[in-house]
């Protein structure tokens, strides 16, 4: 793997049956590239949480993944409502998930904390009414 590999995924809104497909695809590709299982698991968990948040909270969006021998960098950009209070959103247990998705098992308020826990770096840029971009890095 000499050069960086770049992957782009469009995440469609409100489709829970397809949510997780981008993350699963990335997982498969990382496996084939021979990335260590530990790093693959971190990327899979963090990216899935971000992907599903885009579906539930932000009407979908776009994910770009950049893979180099040193690290995996994920950029999740949406044009959703934005996050009014990042500190509150990052708290374990905080969730504004509606009932219909809670019935599917979402809404524990652990997605963002998982993203933080399983990545080496995480940055949230958000503007109310404009959207949210979350950048996460996992070192190999």
Residues lying near other proteins in the complex (CB under 8 A): 16-17, 19-20, 23-24, 27, 37, 41, 44-45, 48-49, 52, 104-111, 113-114, 117-118
Which residues here bind Mg ion, judged by CB under 5 A? Answer: 53, 111
54: nearest Cα among 126, 121, 137: 126
Closer to ligand ATP by Cβ: residue 71 or 79: 79
4 vs 18: CA distance, rounded Å: 27
Q: Which residues within the stretch 29-48 sit at the binding site for ligand ATP (CB under 6 A)?
A: none
Least distance in Å: CB of 68 to ligand ATP? 25
Q: Kindly report the backbone phi and psi dihedral angles of residue 103, in degrees, each rounded to the nearest multiple of 5, phi listed first.
A: -65, -20
Least distance in Å: CB of 130 to other proteins? 26
For the chain, the residue count is 140
**Counting contacts by CB under 6 A, is residue 137 touching ligand ATP?**
no
Residues linked to residue 76 through DSSP beta bridges, in sequence order: 63, 134
63 vs 80: CA distance, rounded Å: 14
Give the per-residue contact string, 58-97, with ligand ATP (x = CB under 6 A; - = no).
x-------------------x-xx-x-----x----xxxx
Largest CA distance in the chain: 47
Interacting partner of 83 out of ligand ATP, other proteins, Mg ion, none (Cβ under 5 to 8 A depending on kind): ligand ATP
108 vs 105: CA distance, rounded Å: 8
Residue 134 near residue 57, CB atoms below 8 Å: no
Interface residues toward ligand ATP, by CB under 6 A: 49, 53-54, 56-58, 78, 80-81, 83, 89, 94-97, 106-112, 132
């Amino acid at each position: 793997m000499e050069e960086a590999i770049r992957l782009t995924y469009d995440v469609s809104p409100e489709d829970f049956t397809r949510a997780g497909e981008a993350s699963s695809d990335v997982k498969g590709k990382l496996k084939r590239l021979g990335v260590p299982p530990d790093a693959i698991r971190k990327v899979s968990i963090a990216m899935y949480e971000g992907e599903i948040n885009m579906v539930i909270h932000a009407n979908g969006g776009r994910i770009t993944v950049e893979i180099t021998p040193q690290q995996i960098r994920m950029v999740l950009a949406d044009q959703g409502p934005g996050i009014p209070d990042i500190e509150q959103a990052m708290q374990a247990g905080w969730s504004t998930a509606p009932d219909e998705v809670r019935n599917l098992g979402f809404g524990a308020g652990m997605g963002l904390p998982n993203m933080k826990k399983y990545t080496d770096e995480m940055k949230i840029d958000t503007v109310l009414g404009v959207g949210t971009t979350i950048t996460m890095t996992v070192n190999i």
